[in-house]
């Protein structure tokens, strides 16, 4: 493989400021953190004609070494909300709330378990996920940041399902079992759009339990559920709360360029900081959702949200596969942008990670990838689709546009 000169000539680089219509992409294979890695996006809930902005994440954040801050999704306490259809439904009882339900252990349902039995069955499979990373404070200085969330053991090989925002930006990951034993782990793969991630225990230890995954589609509004997680951090590891399914098919949309909408389960089971990635469990002791978001505020209680398990199951197999690294930050080049810049459609390379497969292959900032593995690509998504069919060590042929000419490169994928 030819070693290309990586020195960049500014005249060779396309003007990325003119590619505003493109899609930002930080190759989600890397530990290399670009500028937007640590940002937590606002999320918007839509109910009828009304939108509610959720302004945080259910995960405990410890900034520096002494101060603790919990970031939550909160709904502003406003007349706008109180006059909304959602609030009126909650007030009138159209949507099931805790007032319709006393205690899961007293409900007689065929094949159902008591809350104590559910806790005994599922509790050992719910773990704490502790992360450490580096962020920039308000004064521009690097600062150690620690986070705490929850996760669910999904097989006896140590693979754990959690939220992407729990491990986002993490440089070190630890797993804490319900007996307080702490072990090392690593991020295997993640999906930012669905806010899902898989991590794996790297220490040679036996898993205390494996969660049984159930069907969220089979749920009915009013069905009893149990939430298990780590509210407020390690001190309250494995806490159990009860409630009901208040509603299904709630939509939350990130307030970003990404317009992907997700459907959530709504529950009134108490969900608090640190519960992110924890289990929402049905009366049979099956995990039917991953606790993800909470709405709160004065006069607003019992609005928790979980990703439905039937939305998660199709993604698990792909998330169990280690991410294959390329090592670039890039952006889609649409047909309009291509015409404006007099360049071909494809994927523009904005930044190349040092020592990455991309750098070793000779990719440079300003290159436009037009073919990936011999197939034409016009978006990051299409490139990722092709990449997902390969394994570590595979060599990919690239065709790139650079300085008015086409070059052929070879890139070797790695984990």
- In this structure, what token pair is assigned to residue 398? 């690239």
- In this structure, what token pair is assigned to residue 304? 């928790």
Catalytic residue among 60, 84, 130, 165: 165
CB 264 within 8 A of CB 43: no
Active site residue 41: no
H/E element holding 81? helix 79-82
Question: Which of 395, 375, 400, 401 lies closest to 386, judged by CA?
Answer: 375
CB 6 within 8 A of CB 364: yes
Active site residue 195: yes
Question: Which of 163, 235, 239, 148 lies closest to 199, judged by CA?
Answer: 163
Active site residue 382: no
**Which residue reads 């302004």 in tokens?**
55
Catalytic residue among 30, 195, 223, 332: 195
Pairing state between β 196-201 and 182-191: antiparallel
Catalytic residue among 276, 283, 329, 356: 276
CA 118 – CA 313 distance, rounded (Å): 21
Give, as one character, the DSSP assignment of residue 322: P
- Residue 123: CA count within 13 A, CB half-sphere: 15
Give, as one character, the DSSP assignment of residue 130: E
Catalytic residues: 165, 195, 276
């Amino acid at each position: 493989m030819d070693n290309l000169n990586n020195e960049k000539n500014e005249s060779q680089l396309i003007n990325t400021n003119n590619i505003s219509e493109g899609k930002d992409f930080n190759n989600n294979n890397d530990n290399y953190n670009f500028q937007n890695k640590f940002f937590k996006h606002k999320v918007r809930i839509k109910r009828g004609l009304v939108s509610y902005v959720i302004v945080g994440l259910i995960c405990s954040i410890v900034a520096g070494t002494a101060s603790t801050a919990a970031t939550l999704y909160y709904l502003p306490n406003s007349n706008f909300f109180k006059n909304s259809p959602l609030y009126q439904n909650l007030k009138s009882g159209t949507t099931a709330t805790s007032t319709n339900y006393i205690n899961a252990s007293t409900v007689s349902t065929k094949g159902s378990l008591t809350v104590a039995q559910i806790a005994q069955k599922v509790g050992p499979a719910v773990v704490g996920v502790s992360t450490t990373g580096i962020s920039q404070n308000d004064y521009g200085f690097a600062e150690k940041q620690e986070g705490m969330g929850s996760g669910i053991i999904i097989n006896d090989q140590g693979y754990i399902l959690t939220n992407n925002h729990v491990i986002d930006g993490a440089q070190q990951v630890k797993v804490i079992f319900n007996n307080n034993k702490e072990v090392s782990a690593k991020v295997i793969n993640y999906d930012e759009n669905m806010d899902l991630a898989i991590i794996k225990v790297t220490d040679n230890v036996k898993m205390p339990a494996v969660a049984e995954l159930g069907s969220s589609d089979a749920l009915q509004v009013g069905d009893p559920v149990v939430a298990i997680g780590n509210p407020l951090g390690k001190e309250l590891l494995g806490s159990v709360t009860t409630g009901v399914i208040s509603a299904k098919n709630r939509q939350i949309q990130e307030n970003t360029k990404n317009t992907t909408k997700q459907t959530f389960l709504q529950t009134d089971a108490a969900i608090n900081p640190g519960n992110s990635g924890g289990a929402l469990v049905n009366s049979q002791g099956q995990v039917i959702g991953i606790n993800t978001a909470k709405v709160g505020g004065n006069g607003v209680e019992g609005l928790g949200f979980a990703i439905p398990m039937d939305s998660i199951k199709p993604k698990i197999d792909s998330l169990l596969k280690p991410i294959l690294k390329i090592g670039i930050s890039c952006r889609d080049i649409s047909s309009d942008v291509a015409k404006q810049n007099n360049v071909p459609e494809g994927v523009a390379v904005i930044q190349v990670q040092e020592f990455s497969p991309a750098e070793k292959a000779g990719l440079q900032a300003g290159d436009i990838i037009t073919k990936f593995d011999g197939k034409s690509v016009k978006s990051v998504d299409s490139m990722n689709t092709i990449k997902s069919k390969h394994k570590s060590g595979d060599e990919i042929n690239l065709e790139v546009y650079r300085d008015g000419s086409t070059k052929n490169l070879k890139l070797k994928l790695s984990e």
